Amino acid sequence: MEEMRREDYLRSIRFIENSNTFISEGSGQLIAKSVISHVSEIQDLTLDLLAEDTYLSDASISRFFKKAGFGSFHQFKYEFSDFMMNQKITMIKDGFTDTNPNETMYLDSFRSHYGNVLEQVSAAAAMMADASHVLMTGEMFDLIPFFDLQVSLISNAIGTYFCRLSELPVFPERILKGKTLIFAILENSSQESLLQEMKEKTDASLICAGREENRNDLCDLYISLPLRTKAFHDSTGYSLLSAYLLHEFLKLKGMRTAKQ
């Protein structure tokens, strides 16, 4: 029984992972992103609603869920809801037990290397907690460290997506119904116009993280990570940033204590 449940959870994780791959209209990734946009109402989600979002037929959407390893759309909803609930229970339990030593090392390392931006990171976490949707964008190798954060936000009913900066023009912004936050890893200024366009189209707030000292001309909030540390094989600081963002988010949700 436990092994079967583990397989169900892995299937849900793979579903989220697959939603982060290249976007194209009519693709499975579009269906997955549409599902994630409705995580706050997953139990009431219907094929008709997904068809409205994706411009695909009910039959095409049903085939997608079977191909993804779920017996049916209804089985998917049951498994994904159970996965979200299990994730939340685990987060709550972790908040009442001794902090994971690895998590403590990540948090301490972030405080040590980037202590000057703790207030900005706490503000960013508060903006995420207040959003209906969080669109994370940058180069995919920079976004990968934020996968745990993505899963945690989704499990707390916040639709969260990965999208390469170059793919922003084809991201289906029609699924972003509600308060939207864009979180961008900005390593250079060459694609700022794409960010600005998406911000205007979605009426979103924009948080940026990058190497420069200040980018408030473009971003509503900027997190400067000018240092490079080899701690925990993290050459960019983004794994540490993700861990600290998640910690601050869970504190806001009452799943971590102030002391942790």
* Domains in the chain: boundaries: 2-90, 99-252
pLDDT (0 to 100) of residue 112: 85
pLDDT (0 to 100) of residue 105: 83
Q: Show the CA angle centred on residue 207, arms to residues 92 and 16, nearest 5°.
A: 50
The whole-angstrom separation of Cα 128 and Cα 112 is 24
Residue 233 clears pLDDT 60, i.e. is over it: no
Residue 231 clears pLDDT 80, i.e. is over it: no
Residue 99 clears pLDDT 60, i.e. is over it: no
DSSP H helical ranges for 55-117: 58-67, 73-95, 101-114
Residue 1 clears pLDDT 70, i.e. is over it: no
Percent of the chain beyond pLDDT 90? 59
**CB 204, CB 135: distance < 8 Å:** yes
Residue 259 clears pLDDT 60, i.e. is over it: no
66-75, 92-101, 123-132, 184-193 — which one is most confidently predicted on average? 123-132
Residue 26 clears pLDDT 70, i.e. is over it: no
Same CATH topology for 2-90 and 99-252? Answer: no
pLDDT (0 to 100) of residue 250: 93
Residue 98 clears pLDDT 90, i.e. is over it: no
pLDDT (0 to 100) of residue 25: 52
Query: Lowest-pLDDT range, 157-171, 173-187, 218-232, 246-260?
Result: 218-232
Phi, psi of 204 (to 5 degrees): -95, 155
- Identify the architecture of domain 2-90 in CATH: Orthogonal Bundle (1.10)
pLDDT (0 to 100) of residue 101: 65
Query: Lowest-pLDDT range, 39-53, 153-167, 202-216?
Result: 202-216
What's 99-252's CATH class?
alpha beta
pLDDT (0 to 100) of residue 257: 63
pTM for the whole structure? 0.90
